[in-house]
Amino acid sequence: MENVLQELNQLATLAGLLGGFGFTAVIQLLSMERRGKVVTATILVFSLATLMFLLALLMFILTFSAVLELNAIPETLSNLGTYGLLIALLAVFVLEAGIGLAGWIRSKAAGLATTILAAITMCLTASVMVSVIGHFA
């Protein structure tokens, strides 16, 4: 049970930090003087990532609280942690897409560079996730 609590704690911390990063990006983009479709799309992507991380954070915290309160791992809540993890993993990809999209606000060269770097990072992230999750399947 202590392993589950540690995992939930770590995942909640990570979701909170990454959600805060996404929220900070949204605030920065909203305060910019620039307007346009790329800025709007970037705001929407970072907002989606932030909300996904917030949902995952809520799932982790509620599961953590239930496990602590019941001093057991309820079978009915085991899926909640799994769904929270899947949402957090998808949110990582959405956040990376937002980072790739953000470069287009500055220039075509920066947009191309950030898109390529984000695509490479997404491939590496997917590779790591597949290799780790493959051990549990």
Of 51, 21, 23, 30, the closest CA to residue 105 belongs to 30
Retrieve residue 68's tokens: 């602590």
Dist CA 69 CA 82 (whole Å):
20
- Angle between helices 2-30 and 37-70 in degrees, nearest 10: 160
Dist CA 126 CA 71 (whole Å):
35
Q: Residue 128 is part of a domain; what is its CATH number?
A: 1.20.140
The H or E element containing residue 72 is none
Q: Which domain holds residue 62?
A: 2-133
pLDDT at position 115 is: 97
First to last CA, the chain: 21
Retrieve residue 32's tokens: 């910019």
For every one of its 137 residues, what pLDDT tens digit does the chain have, with 9 covering 90 and above?
788 889 889 999 999 999 999 999 999 999 998 889 999 999 999 999 999 999 999 999 999 999 889 888 888 887 888 899 999 999 999 999 999 999 999 999 999 999 999 999 999 999 999 999 888 76
Which residues, at least 6 apart from 57, have a Cβ–Cβ distance to it below 8 Å?
12, 15, 16, 19
Number of domain units in the chain: 1
